[in-house]
Structure 1
C-alpha cells in the first residue's frame, strides 16, 4: 500500500502537493543562487549556505512538505565531514534569520509518523517551509544586492580612474596615493561616494556616457546609403522603435494570468494591472537566473511590458529551457529576438488554456 500511494498518478494526488521538478517550486540550485546573491543583505556566510544546500538535497523531488529528516551524520557526510558542532551553529543561525524551524522529537530523532484514519502526520526535523515562503522577499533582496554590487564596482572604477589621472599629472600629490590605498578595503556605497567627492571629477567627465542615448538614435535623420553598414544598423533601429510605439497587443491582464497561471501563482498579491505584471516579472527574473543587467537591457531594447512578458514566458516553460538566462537574452536581444512576439505567444497560450477548460 505504501508503494502504491507513493507512485499514485498525478491526477489522484493532492492539488497542494509541491514538486521540485515542476514550475510550482523553484529548483534547488535556483534557491541557492538567490541566497548567495542576497547573502550580504541577509547576513549569510558561504559555509551556512552550503549547509542549507545539503539540507535541500535531502528533500525528495516530490513531496507535500519541506521537512528534512536527515541525521547530523548524513548532513556531515554531504558537507564533506564538518563537525556536529558546526552544523548546530549553522542551524541556530538559520533559525535566527527566520529561514528554518526546528521541530525536535522527545528523543531528538528526526522522523515522521502518519495517522491514516485522521489524515494527519507528525514531522520531527528541520522544517524549511519558512525559506520557501520567503522566496519572493529573497528575490527582491537578491536583485537589490546585485544593483548595490554593480554600483560599488562602478564607483570603484571611477575613483581609480580619477586617482590614477591625478597621480599621473601630479606625482607629488599625496591624495591619490591615499585614495588608492583606501580602495583596498571593503567600502560601502556611501563611503565610496564620500571618497569620490575628494577627487577632481572634471578630468574624466567627458568619458561618462548616458546609457539611454542609443535609444534615441532611431529618432535622428536617416543617413545616406553611401554610409554602408552604419545606415543599415540605424534603419533596423528605426524599425524596432516603430514597433515599440505601436504594439498590436489586444491583450488584457486577465489573458496574461490565464495563459501563464502557473507564474501568477508565485505572486503574493493579485495581478490586476500591467504594473502588477511588470513588478511580478522583476521579482521572478532573478529566481530563474535572469540577472538585473540582462533584464534592464531587455527593457531598453524592447519596452517594460514586452520584457515582463518575456520573463513570464520563460518561467512558464522553465522545464523545457536548459538555461533561463541565456534563453531570455536570445529572445530579447539575441539571435531569436527578430521573430519573438510575446503578445502573439500569450494569445496562443490563452487559446490553449480556453480549449483545456472547455
Structure 2
C-alpha cells in the first residue's frame, strides 16, 4: 500500500497542473506524519460544514478507513486502500454503487482523496514473496494525512461556533422570559409608558429571527433584547422610586381603594378592571375585582398554584400557561384576548372557563367570542366571576341538603332496626316493604323522603291491633 510515484487518472479523466502540484506538496507534508485514523475521522465529521461534505460522503469515508489495516495512518504503513464497490456497499450499509461513485468523486473534489489508478482502472494490490504488498492501486489517503492539521483547526472552529451559538440562544431565552414577566408587572402596576408599541416591536423582532440563525444574527437579536430589557427595568425602577417618595398619604393625594367585601380582610390584591373602549359620562365605574372573589369562584384553579391559593396576581399568572394547555388555547388566541380584554382580565377569564369544565364544549371558541364582545364594550369580567361564585355557593348548598337527607334516612333506618326487635318475622317483613315503597316513591318525586315515619306508624297500628285481643 505504498504511495509510489506521481500518478495520472485512468480513462477519460483529464490531468491538470493543479492535481500535479497537489501531489507534490502532499508528498512533502506526509514524510514524517502519523495520526490515528478514527480521531482524524471524528474531526472530519465536526468540520463537515466548512468542508462542504454530506453525510453520505462521510459514511463512505468511514467505510474506506475501515479497509486501512493499521490504526495509525502513515507513509510507512502505506497510504492506498483498494476495496471494490461491492465491498464498500456492504460496509456503508447497502449504499448503491451509483451513489458510491458520486460520493467518491465528491471526496476527490474536496481534496481528501487521490485516485491511484491501475493500467486497466481496477483496484487491486500486488504482493511479494513474503506476503507484503509491493504495489497497490485504488484510493490514496495522502491528501487526508497532509491536511490533518487543517482539519483539526476547522473542527475546533466549528466547535467554538457551536458553543458560542448555544450561549447566545441561552441568553436570548433568558431575556425573553424576563421581558415577558416584566411586561406583566408593568400591566398590573399600571406603569406609564407606550407598552403596546413595545409589544408589537418585540413580536416583529421574534418573528424576524430565522429558526437556524447565524451567529451574527443572534448577536444582533440579543443586543436589541438587552436594550429593551434595560428600558423596562429602568421604567420600573423610576416608578418604584416615585411610589416610595409619594407613599405618605398626609403629603399627597394618593387614591385609596376601598376593600371589597371578603372573608379575609388581610392581604387582598385588587385588580382594576380594564377600561372600556367607549367612554361615557353616564356610565358608572366598575367595581374592583379582588383575588379573594376569584379564589371563591375558582377553587379548582387555586389548587393548581404552587401555594395552593391565589395570594398574589403573580400566582394567577403562573397558572395561566397550564390552563391554556389544558383548554387548548393557543398563543395567538391568548394574545388576541389580552389585547382586547386585558392581560390580568384574560387570566381571570381563563380561570373561569376552566372552572366551568364540561359545561363549555369549546373553551377556545368561547374565549374568542368574549374577546370580540370586549372589543365592542359588551363584556366585563366581574359579572362573570360573581355569577360563577353564586353557582359555587348554590352547589355547596345542594351538597349540604343532600347530606342532611342522607343523615335523616340513616337515622330512620336505624330507628326501624330498633323497632323491628319488638316485631314478629311477618310484621318486620311488612314494615320493611312499606319503608322501601315509601323510599322509592320519594326518590321518584324528587322530594325529601320520610321512611322512618311510615315504618313507625305501621308498627304502631299493628301493635294497637294486637292490644285488642286478650293475652
Give the TM-score, by structure 1 length.
0.45
Structure possessing the higher relative contact order (Cα contacts under 8 Å, 6 or more residues apart): 1
Bigger radius of gyration, 1 or 2?
2
